[in-house]
Amino acid sequence: MIYIADTHSLIWFLAEDSNLSKKAKEIFDYAEIGKNAIVIPTIVLAELLYICEQKQAPDKFSEIIKKIKNSTNYVAYNLDLDIILECKSLGKIVELHDRIIVATAKLLSAPIITKDKKIKESMYVNTMW
């Protein structure tokens, strides 16, 4: 199954943080053994870069990118014109980063691994938590 990772879910998985729900952890764990694919919108990677820079952990970001490049189960998905145009129809979501993540999920017909209340309440896409 294909899932879209939002920023927090991916960070919490990589950090083995207890904020990650049992279901979300299971989805990521299945990706680790090749039973799921995790699509990571490039806006999520940009947010990860920013967070790693703020925490002065540039090596951690490099590790994440290396893992994505060397994996067939983690795929970066580029921000393109189709996603931007899809964002126009997502008026219930104010935050641009979230719109891009949701637009990616809509175009790929995949659920988002997220705890984000506004994304869930928008009902634009299925969410998993």
> Looking at residue 78, which CATH number applies to its domain?
3.40.50.1010
| Distance of alpha carbon 76 from alpha carbon 53, whole angstroms | 20
Domain count of the fold of the chain: 1
> Could you read off the pLDDT of 100-126 as tens digits, one per residue?
999 999 999 999 999 999 999 999 999
> Could you read off the pLDDT of 29-44 as tens digits, one per residue?
999 999 999 999 999 9
Q: Specify whether the CB–CB gap between 37 and 17 falls below 8 A.
A: no
Which residues 6+ apart lie within 8 Å of 41 measured at CB? 4, 5, 76, 77, 79, 83, 100, 101, 104
pTM over 0.75: yes
Identify the domain containing residue 56 by its residue range.
Answer: 2-128
| Distance of alpha carbon 97 from alpha carbon 30, whole angstroms | 26
